[in-house]
Structure 1
Amino acid sequence: MLAKSAVYGLAASAGLAFIGYCIYFDQKRRNDPLFKQKLRERRKKNKEKASKKARGPIPDLESPADRNKFFIQEVQVGEELLAQGDLEGAVEHLSNAVVVCGQPQQLLQVLQQTLPPQVIQMILQKLPEASVRLNQSASQGEMMEDDLE
């Protein structure tokens, strides 16, 4: 009987110590004048890092090797995102792959056989936007190269 009360006492002490720890650091956080600023900066950095990772640099689409590498990368990322359940991200990457593909009709046929109809419909809706975005990126890349010369 004495052992049970000792265990309960230890559990209560540990719980109180944890609550005290939480209160102390919460108070310390609230009194830090730069906390909100640091938090905003950290969130902004994480958001930028995530968007860079998701979008990635758009290569020179005139080079067949770069175009092929970009195509394979976009298909792989699209498949990974589909497996994770992120339909929007997967559709974006797969539509990029269709735009840079040398034979888009054949790729669309393959995708129709392997993907659900709603995903195919989303890809078809996203194609014009992806085409414009990739063409703008390519033309901006050319403009930047011209500026460097």
Structure 2
Amino acid sequence: MTMISPKAAIGIAAGVCGTLFLGYCIYFDHKRHKDPQFKQKLRERRRAKKAAASSNRRATANFPNMKDHEAVQRFFLQEVQLGEELLAAGDLENGVDHLGNAIAVCGQPNELLQVLQQTLQPQVFHLLIQRLPSIAPRVMAQDKQMQEDDVE
């Protein structure tokens, strides 16, 4: 009877473990693809990923310098118009974000909120109110960044 060297035993054990792992992966991949709802779940996951990517892009809105009144007014009008267009197209999430950006730079946000409350559907207005607290810190952070850039 011949003895197997320790290196050979480790190599054989690694080969067996690798084969078992590969078989495990193939089995569950096959099982996953045979699921009748696989394609639907995959599409939903891709949509969610795409929506998350777009929300990250819109979260980094370039707010104007708050000291430049013309730029603030241009930004305000642009955001209101874009928000209304997106809401009309049925994209509530992005539309509400743009309207929130407009409210954040508005000189009289209470009056604007009253107008929006009268013109928007109640569920859209409620979504807007829920999003407002997350928009204000972004404006403050960008304004602070601009002030620091002015100092340098």
Give the letter aligned to residue 68 of structure 1: Q
Residue in 1 that maps onto 2:106: 101
Of 124, 146, 150, 1:145 maps to 150
Q: Which segments of 5 or more consecutive residues in structure 2 lack a partner in the other structure? A: 1-52
Check 1:56–1:124 CA distance in 2 against 1; reply closer, same or farther (3 A cut): closer
Q: Percent identity?
A: 45
- Tell me how far apart the structure 1 counterparts of residues 141 and 88 of structure 2 sit (CA, whole Å): 30
Query: Which whole-Å deviations, capped at 9, do the CAs of 1:100-145 have from their partners, x for residues lacking one?
Result: 1111111111111111011111111111111111110111122223
Number of residue pairs the alignment of both structures matches = 101
TM-score by length of 2: 0.59
Residue in 2 that maps onto 1:124: 129
In the alignment, does 2:79 pair up with 1:71? Answer: no
Give structure 1 regions of 4+ aligned residues with deviation exceeding 2 angstroms: 48-57, 144-147
Give the letter aligned to residue 69 of structure 2: P
SS at match of 2:62: coil
Q: Which segments of 5 or more consecutive residues in structure 1 lack a partner in the other structure? A: 1-47
Query: Which whole-Å deviations, capped at 9, do the CAs of 1:23-54 have from their partners, x for residues lacking one?
Result: xxxxxxxxxxxxxxxxxxxxxxxxx9997688
What's the offset of the Cα at 1:71?
Answer: 0.7
Give the letter aligned to residue 116 of structure 1: Q
TM-score by length of 1: 0.60
In the alignment, does 2:119 pair up with 1:114? Answer: yes
Residue in 2 that maps onto 1:37: none
